[in-house]
């Protein structure tokens, strides 16, 4: 895996501010050192509008345009910690590239990352956001996240960044043996669901209540 090139910030976008965010994540129970290191390394302020940069390291979801949001750091950290489970990850799929932030984090903890986004304009924004980081092990794709990316499956981990009414049936099929999938599921009441492929069966665990933007079918 190629290392991420840090982009320096100042004031409320500085490395010191990122480190304070990581300290808060530790206080909230995040223990995976690789996830914490990624969140210290990746400059979240590059992935939000300049007017919101001073809030980039608050534990809050922020708008990124196209009626989408960048999730709060604590939720992202919990999802990545749960789906990694202390394992070395080879190939990973993200469903819902959004602004590109979580894809950059995944690229820091996995050997090979694919991220699919259904909104063309948002995908181009993610490409622009990611370009300064020069991440070599990340591939972005324009497509319907409900279908996943069967042409490059199976995946050791799948991370879904929007809430479907039910878990899309195609996604668990793309898990490698021992693979893990994490996704928010539900409409008014959403739950974070962890799915593990154990030999020939899938084991589902409900983790916690969450709030994500709805997952849509098709491309636009």
- pLDDT value of position 220: 84
* Distance separating alpha carbons of residues 155 and 182, to the nearest angstrom: 12
Please state, rounded to an integer, the average pLDDT across all residues of the chain: 93
DSSP letter at 66 equals T
Judge whether 120 and 93 are in contact, CB under 8 Å.
no
Instruction: Give pLDDT tens digits for 96-140.
Output: 999 999 999 999 999 999 999 999 999 999 999 999 999 999 999
pLDDT exceeds cutoff 70 at 217: yes
pLDDT exceeds cutoff 50 at 3: no
Whether residue 149 lies inside any domain: the answer is yes
**Residue 102: burial class (beta carbons within 10 Å; 0-12, 13-18, 19+):** buried
Whether residue 4 lies inside any domain: the answer is no
Instruction: Give pLDDT tens digits for 31-63.
Output: 999 999 999 999 999 999 999 999 999 999 999
- pLDDT value of position 7: 61
Residue 10 pLDDT level (bands cut at 50, 70, 90): low
Annotation says 71 is catalytic: yes
Report the percent of the chain where pLDDT is more than 90: 90
Per-residue exposure over 119-154, b if at least 16 CB sit within 10 Å of its own CB, e if not: beebbebbeebbeebebeebebeeebbbbbbeeebb
Please identify which of the residues 2, 14, 40, 71 carries the catalytic annotation. Answer: 71
Residue 9 pLDDT level (bands cut at 50, 70, 90): low
Residue 11 pLDDT level (bands cut at 50, 70, 90): low
Whether residue 63 lies inside any domain: the answer is yes
Instruction: Give pLDDT tens digits for 57-99.
Output: 999 999 999 999 999 999 999 999 999 999 999 999 999 999 9
pLDDT exceeds cutoff 90 at 218: no
Mean pLDDT of 17-21: 95
- The tally of domains found in the chain comes to 1
Whether residue 107 lies inside any domain: the answer is yes
Whichever domain contains 108, its CATH number is 3.40.50.150
Whether residue 44 lies inside any domain: the answer is yes
147 SS3 class: helix
Whether residue 144 lies inside any domain: the answer is yes
Whether residue 6 lies inside any domain: the answer is no
- pLDDT value of position 108: 97
Whether residue 81 lies inside any domain: the answer is yes
First-last CA distance in the chain: 32
Domain limits for position 176:
11-210
């Amino acid at each position: 895996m190629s290392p991420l090139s840090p982009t320096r910030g100042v004031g409320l976008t500085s490395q010191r501010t990122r480190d304070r965010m990581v300290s808060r994540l530790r206080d909230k129970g995040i223990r995976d050192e690789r996830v914490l290191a990624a969140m210290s390394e990746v400059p979240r302020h590059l992935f939000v509008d300049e007017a919101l940069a001073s809030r980039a390291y608050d534990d809050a979801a922020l708008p990124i345009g196209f009626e989408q949001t960048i999730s709060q750091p604590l939720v992202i950290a919990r999802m990545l910690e749960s789906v990694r489970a202390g394992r070395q990850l080879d190939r990973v799929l993200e469903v819902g590239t959004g602004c590109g932030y979580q894809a950059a984090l995944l690229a820091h903890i996995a050997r090979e990352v694919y991220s699919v986004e259904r909104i063309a304009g948002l995908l181009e924004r993610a490409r622009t956001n990611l370009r300064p980081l020069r991440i070599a092990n990340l591939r972005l794709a324009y497509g319907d996240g409900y279908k996943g990316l069967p042409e490059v499956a199976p995946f050791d981990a799948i991370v879904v960044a929007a809430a479907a009414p039910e878990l899309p049936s195609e996604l668990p099929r793309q898990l490698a043996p021992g693979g893990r999938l994490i996704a928010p599921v539900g409409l008014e009441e959403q739950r974070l669901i962890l799915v593990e492929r154990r030999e020939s069966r899938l084991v589902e665990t409900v983790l916690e209540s969450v709030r994500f933007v709805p997952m849509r079918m098709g491309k636009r």
